[in-house]
């Protein structure tokens, strides 16, 4: 597999319900790798080992997996050295959010992703970008998200492809799911053990609104 392609797998934890019935926070995590086959291999090997031991695991999903399964997945994530992740979080009560909806939030995410990629171009030599989102949106929202993403990604001057896939069918999407969930429970429930289990290269988290408004620190840290 060519290392000149950069793959970004994006998944969220929390929900896009901005009413009082929704979650208080939303986290969107971007897992970035040149070698999606390598990270996939680690989780595939873990899955088949668990099946042989009698654990009925169809795919990894942090919010539903048993604790023993989660522990095993986090041990594998700790060994993903040739990859990185950037998580962007929102407090839905933030006064800077006005009339939020799904396309707006993904538009802000697109700004944050493109800004990171543009700032990285001096050392990242890429022939194409591949962005894979979880297919959890309505078709109308997918179209709106694409419309928000494309102008931002054009700033990178690198060819790109945007896909919406079921996260349960891609191990790299499941990595993004675990990272997003770890940050989400730290915010929503003050449960820090999953977040603390992430290696430093996967633990970076930034307030999304700070990131797009230029208020984020140059070396963002995990959520405290």
Q: Can you give the pLDDT at residue 218?
A: 47
Beta-sheet strand order (sheet of 83-91): 160-165, 128-134, 5-14, 25-33, 83-91, 204-207
| pTM over cut 0.85 | yes
In the chain, the domains with their CATH numbers are 5-212 (3.30.420.10)
**What sections of 121-169 are H helices per DSSP?**
139-153
pLDDT in tens, 65-83: 999 999 999 999 999 998 9
pLDDT in tens, 152-171: 888 888 899 999 999 889 99
Question: Contact at 8 Å (CB) between 132 and 165?
Answer: yes
Torsion angle, alpha carbons of 127, 131, 132, 138, to 10? -140
85 dihedral zone (left: phi>0; alpha: psi -120 to 50; beta): beta
Residue positions counted in the chain: 224
Give all strands (DSSP E) within 72-178, no chain letters.
83-91, 128-134, 160-165
């Amino acid at each position: 597999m060519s290392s000149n392609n950069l793959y970004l797998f994006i998944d969220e934890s929390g929900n896009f319900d901005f009413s009082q019935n929704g979650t208080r926070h939303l986290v969107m995590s971007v897992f970035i790798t040149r070698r999606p086959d390598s990270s996939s291999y680690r989780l595939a090997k873990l899955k088949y080992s668990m099946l042989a031991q009698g654990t009925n695991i169809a795919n990894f999903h942090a919010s539903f997996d048993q604790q023993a399964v989660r522990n095993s997945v986090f041990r594998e994530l700790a060994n993903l050295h040739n990859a990185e992740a950037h998580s962007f979080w929102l407090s839905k009560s933030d006064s800077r959010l006005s009339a939020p909806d799904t396309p707006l939030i993904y538009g802000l995410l697109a700004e944050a992703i493109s800004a990171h990629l543009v700032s990285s171009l001096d050392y990242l030599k890429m022939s194409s970008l591949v962005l894979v989102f979880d297919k959890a949106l309505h078709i109308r929202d997918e179209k709106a998200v694409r419309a928000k993403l494309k102008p931002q990604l054009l700033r990178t001057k690198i060819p790109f492809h945007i896909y919406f896939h079921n996260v349960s069918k891609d191990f790299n999407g499941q990595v993004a799911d675990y990272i997003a969930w770890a940050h989400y429970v730290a915010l929503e429930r003050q449960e820090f053990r999953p977040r603390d289990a992430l290696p430093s290269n996967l633990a970076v988290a930034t307030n999304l609104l700070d990131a797009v408004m230029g208020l984020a620190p140059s070396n963002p840290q995990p959520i405290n």
